[in-house]
Amino acid sequence: MPLSYRQPGVVFTDHHFSVPLDHDAPSGEQIELFAREAVAPGKDPEQLPWLVYLQGGPGFGANRFAGSGAWLPRALKEFRVLLLDQRGTGRSTPATRQTLPLRGGPREQADHLALLRSDSIVRDCEAIRPALTGGAPWTVLGQSFGGFCATRYLSSAPEGLAAALITGGLPSLDGHADDVYRAAYPRIARKVAAHYARYPMDVERAWRIAAHLREHEVVTDGGYRLTVEAFQSLGILLGGGDGSHRLHYLLEDAFVRTPSGPALADAFLAEVHGLLSHAGHPLYALVHESIYAQDHRPTAWSAERVRAEFPAFDAERALTGDGPLLFTGETVHPWMFDADPALRPLREAADLLAARTDWAPLYDADSLARNEVPVAAAVYHDDMYVDTAHSLATAGTVRGLRTWVTDEFEHDGVRAGGDRVLDRLLALVRDEV
């Protein structure tokens, strides 16, 4: 029997499902999916429509709400919500440095990781939908990478959808990872420039930290090797609505005086470790570039290669006096698998995945052009994580898709905006605005 329990404003029920690891081999190995159902108190007996939340990432389990936070209260007014831990994440069969060796060596691990993309996630959703809805279609809410999954859903199984709501997650339909990062680095530079314009004192602070890291070997208590490049990757904060402020407060408390001279403070290093470690979400690093992989082209550590085309991100250039230090953003690099103890055992598998060429297309432009599912997408103007131009090009391909382009929010608008983002998208798919 599913386990149910209450929190303020919501009743949760835990569900476990068995699905094929490889949907093309349904009689082969089965893996477990975990999903948490949420319903408003008193509405549990009602025949409510279902809304499935597809988490961003890749590699993160669904939100763990303490009560009905963020967008959930609005959804619970009319939906029964399913918070799905996508395959490999959360309480679903995990894929980590501890579990992947059960698959065998690096090649077997890479083969397993290749089965954790949006195409498999959508087939998982279709496998469990009949057991929950009795066969009725449901609405999906896809945030960031969850929007990539929703777009795949529209391409391959539109019959399963009553509507699709996408926030900050309309992907390029045919762009290679190189195209994604060539568009990303200029956006990241703009976000860094805006941060320094807001907090000009951080120019010197960032430079001082980077200079210290160049001269000292620094390892956090958790074993993370904090290099200059690792420090630069804290720029991922700048994609969130409060990220610039969080980065500022982090930088201002970086140093303490010690008998041996200035040193990076334990508190600073502890916070940095929490921000940079992939221990809780290793799949984010492992499969990040493969979410863009299509048409038999390797990703080949795309973000690292393309970064070389943008010399302003070269830390040594900044440290020798040629411009401020630039942070980076949502990019994954080979050095992370040396710096992070949660990733070190998986470096060879990651290299094999980056070299892989047997990628099938993820999206069907012809199917999307014939779309009949109501679709609405929030496109955040100058989103640091997902290119606005790519999103709008895709929006023009999907028949009937309605966009809401806004600069009111950053990439985390569905969380930061509370009811407003979900309200707007529901109104759009219902032709109420």
Distance CA 115, CA 83 (A): 21
Distance CA 199, CA 191 (A): 12
- The yes-or-no answer on residue 277 being catalytic is no
Distance CA 300, CA 149 (A): 23
Given 144, 233, 244, 290, the catalytic residue: 144
- The yes-or-no answer on residue 411 being catalytic is yes
Token pair belonging to 229: 């490049």
- The yes-or-no answer on residue 391 being catalytic is no
Distance CA 405, CA 408 (A): 9
Coil, strand or helix at 56 = coil
Q: What is 362-423 written as a DSSP string?
A: ---HHHHHT--S-EEEEEETT-SSS-HHHHHHHHTTSTT-EEEEESS--TTHHHHTTHHHHH
Given 221, 358, 366, 431, the catalytic residue: 358
Task: Tell me which amino acid residue 280 is.
Answer: G
Q: Is the peptide bond before 73 cis (omega within 30 degrees of 0)?
A: no
Token pair belonging to 65: 């709400």
Q: Closest Cα to residue 423, out of 78, 170, 150?
A: 78
Q: Closest Cα to residue 138, out of 90, 78, 88, 93?
A: 78
Q: Where are the beta strands (DSSP E) in 72-124?
A: 80-85
Given 195, 278, 281, 411, the catalytic residue: 411
First to last CA, the chain: 42
Q: Is the peptide bond before 186 cis (omega within 30 degrees of 0)?
A: no
The residues annotated with a catalytic role in the active site are 144, 358, 411
